[in-house]
Amino acid sequence: MEDEVRCGRYVNPSDAKRKFKDVADMWLRSKNNVSEGVRARYECELRTYINPKWSNVPIGAIRHDDIARWVTELSTGNYPAKLHWKHNPKPLSPRSIKSIVKVVFAGVLDYAVKVRYLMENPARDVEIPKPEYKDLVFLDIREIEALADAAERVGRPVDGTIIRFQSYVGTRINETFALQVGDIDFEKRQIRVRRTWKNSAKAQRLGPPKSGRPRTVAFPKFLAQPLRELVKEQPETAYVFRAVKGGHINDHNWRRRIWRKAVQLAGLEDIEGLTPHSLRHSYAAIAITAGADVKILQRQMGHTSASLTLDIYGFLFPERLGQVADVIDAERTTAIVSKRD
């Protein structure tokens, strides 16, 4: 015991008897830098999926095998849960399981390790199903243009520009609606994404982008003219995409008034899972086809890392091993010929 104290490995056995729900409450209180929406998701996952299983379990009694079995239960729909309207549990997607197990559940146990209630986190090495991003919804350019034209007919010209902006720039919808006139540099055809609208139970409020840092994105030439029309004679702080009365556009209202009607008018209502976020995925697919590398795509889309970009869109990148071999062959030939000369 003395050796463990000196080496910083000592854990008070009574702390390992703390119930999971109590440590989870402490973990939530420690999350001072997350948005209201993220906090609400953490609380929902704890209440719905995690606490029904682990609420009264001492943190020191949680074992790797127990967590692995729970992951299987989440995958098959055979798990305890607190669901609304007496719904029965159903198999969860790999992305949901990742959030529940690796972000929230493991986050609570990480906190227990940090405050020395536990020596190690048994959830970190547990394997979870790999997310299948091939199920993402993409539109091709013809479908995008048909949708944009439909949005103009059911709404205003700005609604068509919103569709095209989402599809050919790739910002998140609430980043788009938070753009201000002063964020646009028409000479460089660049936009500084500094803020986004955060949704909460009470109202929308402005906050930093999802990554927590501003970023610069580029827009294609054809968008310059419609953007100039939108910002003409507007002050620097005016929103680029404005509601009828001049304020910012609420994404929930826009989906109800414009998006759903435009999808039907464009004949795209049979595409399952089509949402405004699908336009962001469509941008990624178009950019990759055009030759964008993973780092450029990461910067444009505001992902925290290139590995995240590859996790989501890696299957879209073409197989270029043969091209690399051909380039090496050409470089070698050029070097040998120039040496002989």
Q: What is the pLDDT of residues 74-123, one digit of tens each?
A: 999 999 999 877 788 999 988 889 999 999 999 999 999 999 899 899 99
pLDDT at 30: 93
Residues 6 or more apart in contact with residue 10 via CB below 8 angstroms? 1, 4, 116
Residue 38 forms part of a structural domain: yes
Q: Which of 131, 153, 174 is the last residue of a domain?
A: 131
Q: Which helix (H) or strand (E) holds 36?
A: helix 36-45
Residue 329 forms part of a structural domain: no
pTM of the predicted model over 0.75: no
Query: Does one domain contain both 185 and 202?
Result: yes
C-alpha closest to that of 108 among 49, 148, 195 = 49
Number of domains in the chain: 2
Query: Does one domain contain both 99 and 175?
Result: no
pLDDT, one tens digit per residue, over 266-318 is 999 988 889 999 999 999 999 988 888 889 999 999 988 888 788 788 878 77
Query: Does one domain contain both 143 and 119?
Result: no
Range of the domain at 66: 2-131
Query: Does one domain contain both 101 and 201?
Result: no
- Under DSSP, the state recorded for 247 is S
Query: Does one domain contain both 103 and 208?
Result: no
